[in-house]
Amino acid sequence: MVYSVSDYKIEIGASVKTGEPQFSTISNVESMEMKLKGTTKAWSPMELKGWARNMVTGKTLSLTFKGKRCYGDAGNDFVANKLLSTGSDCAAVLKITFPNGDALVCDGLVDITSSFGGASTDMDSMEWTYTVDGKPEYQEAAQA
């Protein structure tokens, strides 16, 4: 089955090392772009006569979000309040629930790239990246 990207549910919460994080849906997200990059190592054993072998030895995942700044929305305010944060104050847990009920849950860091301003006829925009810290957890939906 094919689903629209607009059917995704995007939630965020404070990073909690013990217990379940309290998630808030982020309203007014207009786009989400995922970048997954593998680290590949190559070596050339003699028996391959100059040809190389390759292995993916690591991964990096980041997501870029663009939307409107919605004051008073818990998820939107949570992200916006990271504007001047550095270090561990940027930490957050992100949860993306797919239309089929599966979810991707990640520990990571919020980095605001644009938070307010523009022409007098514009609305406040909010753009941020979320860089995953460690391996995300993919949760399959409970089968009925």
Average pLDDT over residues 47-58: 95
**Cα separation, 61 vs 34, whole angstroms:** 7
Average pLDDT over residues 106-111: 95
Which domains, from first to last, does the chain contain?
5-139 (2.30.110)
Average pLDDT over residues 86-112: 94
Is residue 13 very low, low, confident or very high in pLDDT (cuts 50, 70, 90)?
A: very high
Average pLDDT over all residues of the chain: 91
Give this prediction's pTM. Answer: 0.86
Res 23 pLDDT > 90: yes
What percent of the chain lies above the pLDDT cut of 70?
96
**What pLDDT score was predicted for residue 71?**
93
SS (H, E, C) the chain: CCCCHHHCEEEEECCCCCCCCCCEECCCEEEEEEEEEEEEEEECCHHHCCCCEEEEEEEEEEEEEEEECCCCCHHHHHHHCCCCCCHHHHEEEEEEECCCCCEEEEEEEEEEEECCCCCCCCCCEEEEEEEECCCCEEECCCCC
**What pLDDT score was predicted for residue 33?**
95
